[in-house]
Structures are given as C-alpha cells and as structure tokens.
Amino acid sequence: MNPTTNIAVRAARKAGSILMRYYNRIDTLTISEKQANDYVSEVDRATEAAIIEVIRRAYPNHAILAEESGEHAGNDYQWIIDPLDGTTNYLHGFPQFSISVALQHRGELISAAVYDPLRDEMFTASRGQGAQLNDRRLRVSDQRSLKGALIGTGIPFRDQRYLADYLAMLGAMVEDTAGIRRPGSAALDFAYVAAGRLDGFWELGLSVWDFAAGVLLVREAGGAVSDIRGGNRHLESGNVIAGNLKVHQAMVKRLAPHVPEALRA
C-alpha cells in the first residue's frame, strides 16, 4: 500500500473501534433526522472527527469532504469520507455497515479503504496497484452474463422522485438473474463487487462519499463503474452501475429503457 492508503486504513480502523464501542448500547445514542428517512447520531460525528484527526495529523494541508461536517479547505488533494455508511442499519442493530475513506487528486481517485468492523474486513485500493481484502488480492467475478448473476442495489429512500422508474429497473433486473440483494451499505456493495461476491450493482441518488472509495476498489479489481447511462458522470450524478466488464455492459443495456428522461442528460 502507498502511504496515503495506509492513512486511510488507519483512519478507518480508528473509526471502526468507535462504532463497535457503541454497537451494543445503541439505545443510549442521541439520534436526529437530517431529512426524511436520513438519520445521524453522535456516533456518526465521533467517527468522522476521529477520521479527520488521523488525516490532519498526516496531511494537514489536504482538503476534506465529509458527510457530516462538509467541506474543509485545502490543496489539490481531497479526502472523501463517510464515517458510517449504513447508519439506519447500525441504529437498528442490522449487521451491515461500514466506514468509507477515499483520496482524490485533481479529480483522480488514488487511495481507498472500506472497512467492515463487524467482520474485521478491510478492503483497500491504491491507483495502479490493485485492490485487496486484508492483504489478499481481489478480482471481480468472471460471470459472463446477467443470467445467473447476483446483483446488488439500493432502493431510493430519501429522494423518491424516480421510485417508479427504479421499480421498473428492478423488474427488468429480476427477470433472469440469480437474485437481487439490498443490504443497505453502498460502500460495502461496491467492495463486494470488487471481491466477486456480487457480480454487479446499481443505485440512483448516491452521495459521492457513499461510493468514492468503492469506485477505486472495483476498478482496481478489474471491474467497471459508470453512470446509469454508461458514461463517466457517476461521481457527479450519484446514479451508478458497477460490475465486472461483461455484467456492467449488460446492466447498462438492460436498464437503458427505464432510465427517466431527467437522468439522460
């Protein structure tokens, strides 16, 4: 791992220790609703502060974009942080959540860490150096078509303007795949695509901190990531498809008739 990926790992592990400290006493947390169906607790803020502290100690001049505290000014390097991806799962004791830490330089993702503290699984990637799970090299699956593929997704829960379109996409994907999974942590969904546990994934309306690290994981594991139309505006739009090369291509084609006009620009 390069030095910045090592810092991402260190920050994610520190955040993970905080999440696990509170996991068995969630009922003591103060929880508030940021917007409809979107919650935040003191543990989100504590883990974010811990991540930022680790980054600032190593790279005091780097910029930061964090889910809870927003933008922190800096130079051409920007860290993109989701301190608890899957907050609703965490607050319900549902065992699927993660920490996501990515670094980009002038728009190019160069380091990533996605950490599942429950399973002690650390997914990492460094640009041009591949992706790993606990130091074991990752590769996307070798599934060649949608027939028999296991696909992950995220159901719209904040902005439901395109819910009907999404349901049409879901119907199209169910047709001949092995099944659809909606675990509830996009960062882990991307990590699972990189690890070959999922053959593909799609979602609408993600925030950049949800999946920036995941993009690098999938690409360094030999997969493809695009926006919902197969273009390169995924980080900007939050409408995303990921998968191994064959499945990604097939998903773009399968979903195309159901993409709403507003998302075609």
CB-based contacts of 232: which residues, under 8 Å, 6+ apart? Answer: 226
Q: What is the CATH number of the domain that holds 43?
A: 3.30.540.10
pLDDT at site 28: 67
Written as one letter, the residue type at 193 is V
pLDDT at site 32: 57
Mean pLDDT to the nearest integer, 2-10: 97
Residue 257 counted as domain residue: yes
Residue 247 counted as domain residue: yes
Report the chain's mean pLDDT, rounded to a whole number: 92
Contact 48, 66 (CB under 8 A): yes
pLDDT for 26-53, tens place per residue?
A: 776 665 555 544 445 678 888 999 999 9
Number of domains the chain contains: 2
Residue 93 counted as domain residue: yes
Residue 237 counted as domain residue: yes
Q: Which domain holds residue 181?
A: 150-263
Distances 167 to 19, 86, 102, 148 between C-alpha atoms, Å: 33, 21, 31, 20
pLDDT for 199-231, tens place per residue?
A: 999 999 999 999 999 999 999 999 999 999 999
pLDDT for 132-146, tens place per residue?
A: 999 899 999 999 999
CB-based contacts of 202: which residues, under 8 Å, 6+ apart? Answer: 151, 152, 153, 169, 173, 228, 240, 241, 242, 251, 255
Pairwise CA distance, residues 13 & 122, whole Å:
9
Mean pLDDT to the nearest integer, 63-79: 94
Tell me what percent of the residues of the chain surpass a pLDDT of 90.
81
pLDDT at site 38: 44
How much is the pTM?
0.93
Choosing from 72, 105, 137, the residue where a domain stops is: 137
